[in-house]
A = this chain, B = another copy of it.
């Protein structure tokens, strides 16, 4: 049994979907960002980074989305969520996920989290102005070079798919014109039709609307 600490509209949706895909038993625990619950003393014991996702496992707590996704895939090999027997294909998938966490998600975060990297309101505004360009460059690269299709890694669905889908929720708000990245948008649409994706999103939004 796992316990996933999540917040709606964050990258914790990616491991949430992957847990559904894996068939693992898990429970959800919502962290309320509107009350800055991620900085509460109780949550800092779970994740001293004050971020989501965090996943409690029988062996200990995991953080960082790419690591968590690979762990889910390796723990449930029958779900075939990663090319576990092919180190090169596994590395290609990990490379994709690493780009999402270290480049795409970081570019996006400059829209609302500029205080992580600067002090002045004028800098935050300047960062926000650049987000359509910096996030757009990432999506252009994903569109042209990285998304093999129909799934991220080609014919086989992997943990890279829920991760791209999750971050792609935000691209219009980041000011990226979806018309310039038709393959990414087609991938997002196809992902949104999967029952596990619908279930994960519905679970997060149902709790959100009751909160």
Interface residues on A, range: 35 or more
**Centre residue among A48, A68, A75, A92 by max chain B CB count within 10 A:** A92
Complex-state Cα separation, A64 to B63, whole angstroms: 19
Complex-state Cα separation, A110 to B64, whole angstroms: 21
The reply to whether A71 and B87 form a contact with Cβ atoms under 8 Å apart is yes
Chain A 144-170, CB-CB to B under 8 Å as 1, else 0, gives 110000000000000000000000000
**Residue A94 at the B interface, CB < 8 A?**
yes
Are A127 and B117 CB-contacts (below 8 A) given A67-B95, A90-B71, A98-B101? yes
Closest beta carbon of chain B to A41's beta carbon, Å: 15
* Interfacial residues of chain A within 34-79, with CB under 8 A of chain B in the complex: 48-49, 57, 59-60, 62-68, 70-71, 74-75
Copies in the complex: 2
The reply to whether B102 and A130 form a contact with Cβ atoms under 8 Å apart is no
Q: A residues touching B (Cβ–Cβ < 8 Å)?
A: 48-49, 57, 59-60, 62-68, 70-71, 74-75, 87-88, 90-92, 94-95, 97-99, 101-103, 105-107, 110, 116-120, 122-123, 126-127, 129-130, 134, 141, 144-145
17 extra A-B contacts, CB within 8 A, seeds A110-B117, A117-B134: A48-B145, A49-B99, A49-B103, A49-B141, A60-B92, A62-B88, A62-B95, A63-B95, A64-B95, A64-B99, A67-B91, A71-B90, A75-B87, A101-B102, A117-B127, A118-B130, A119-B129
